[in-house]
Amino acid sequence: MALLCISSKVRHSMLLVGVALMLGMHLSAASLDDDIEIRWGASHTYFFMDGDTESLALSLDDEQGGSCFRSKEMFVYGTISMGIKLVEGNSAGVVATAYTISEGPWSYHDEIDLEFLGNLTGEPITLHTNIFVNGVGGREQQFYLPFDPTADYHTYTIEWNPKYILIRVDGKAIRAFKNYEQYGVPFPTWQQQRLYGSLWDADEWATQGGRIKTDWSEAPFVAYYRNYTFTWCQPSPGVSWCGAEPKDSTRFDLDQKTLGELWWASQQYRIYDYCSDHKRFNESDFPKECSLQRQGL
């Protein structure tokens, strides 16, 4: 579960300038400010020009509990994408996130998580995904990425429609969570969500189960975000909005290309799937969607 961003008073300090100068970057006003707002850690958060692209840096050190932003707009069904460049070097214990979450009572919140679990220099960073519906998560899948996510920006996408939640990396699908509501499996269909992004210390669990702790001598840790886009879900012609799409519509069915990408990701990059965890679940205890998937439904 991603760290919930808690609002704090906007602060400006010399540390902001010091981090930016140390990294050889120049502060700049950015149009990202039209779409997102800083929730906490403003003294560790800054906009800058990365070439011709306006970007946002989130920073973490041992005196500040990281930093966080959120989208100004809320939505039900849509596609969110963001370019992210992760913390370089020894990032063990550090977690960068991009996730959507509803803002009603926590006991039945909905959430779609992308969490990047830091690691020792040269070791792979894990993309940890999870989905919460009505306050219940436990639907984790984890992936190694087929590139160094600290060397450059890559695009991470959450696509949410009435039939599927799809997670894509650089446009290619790596995970799909199907709507099995007709079989009694909860699916997020009614609570508005926002995009959040954060950088925080989670060394009690993030790296090798918490065995590797954050090395604060490596601080500040910095992750970069840019190219935030949001597009509303588009229903079939003549349908008012995606939530009104007829149940028998094929509008959001997965095409062969997407199915092929999902199979490839499961074979090459996925390192954990809750539906295959026989240590965690007895055969009769697996979540219902797991058995439905096995049946090809």
Of 37, 63, 73, 111, which is the active-site residue? 111
The whole-number pLDDT of residue 121 equals: 93
**What pLDDT digit, counting tens, does each position of 259-292 carry?**
999 999 999 999 999 999 999 999 899 999 999 9
Which residues neighbour 44 within 8 Å (Cβ) at sequence distance 6 or greater? 15, 16, 19, 58, 59, 60, 61, 64, 66, 67, 220
Q: How much is the average pLDDT of 62-87?
A: 94
Residue 53 has, within 13 A of its CA and on its CB side, a CA count of 13
**What pLDDT digit, counting tens, does each position of 22-69 carry?**
344 444 333 788 899 999 999 889 999 888 899 999 999 998 778 999
Using H for helix, E for strand and C for coil, what is the string for 18-70? HHHHHCCCCECCCHHHHCEEEEECHHHEEEEEECCEEEEEEEEECCECCEEEE
- Could you tell me the pLDDT band of residue 152, with boundaries at 50, 70 and 90? very high
In the chain, pLDDT over 70 holds for what percent of residues? 90
The whole-number pLDDT of residue 1 equals: 62
Q: Which amino acid is at 31?
A: S
* DSSP-derived secondary structure letter, 274: G
> What mean pLDDT is reported for the chain?
90
Which residues neighbour 217 within 8 Å (Cβ) at sequence distance 6 or greater? none
> Is the pLDDT reported for residue 16 higher than 50?
no
Q: How far is CA 43 from CA 34, 68, 211, in A?
A: 19, 11, 30
Of 41, 28, 46, 93, nearest in space to 67 by CA: 41
Of 142, 144, 118, nearest in space to 128 by CA: 142
Task: Respond yes or no: is residue 115 known to be catalytic.
Answer: yes
Give burial (CB, 10 Å; 0-12/13-18/19+) of 257. exposed
Three-state secondary-structure class, residue 114: strand
Domains of the chain (ranges; CATH) run 33-295 (2.60.120.200)
DSSP assignments along 58-111, one per residue? EEEBTTB--EEEEES--BSSEEEEEEEEPPPS--TTEEEEEEEE--S-GGG--E
Which residues neighbour 264 within 8 Å (Cβ) at sequence distance 6 or greater? none
Of 37, 103, 115, 204, which is the active-site residue? 115
The whole-number pLDDT of residue 22 equals: 38
Q: Do the beta carbons of residue 177 and residue 165 sit within 8 Å?
A: yes
Three-state secondary-structure class, residue 218: helix
**What pLDDT digit, counting tens, does each position of 170-213 carry?**
999 999 999 999 999 999 999 999 999 999 999 999 999 999 99
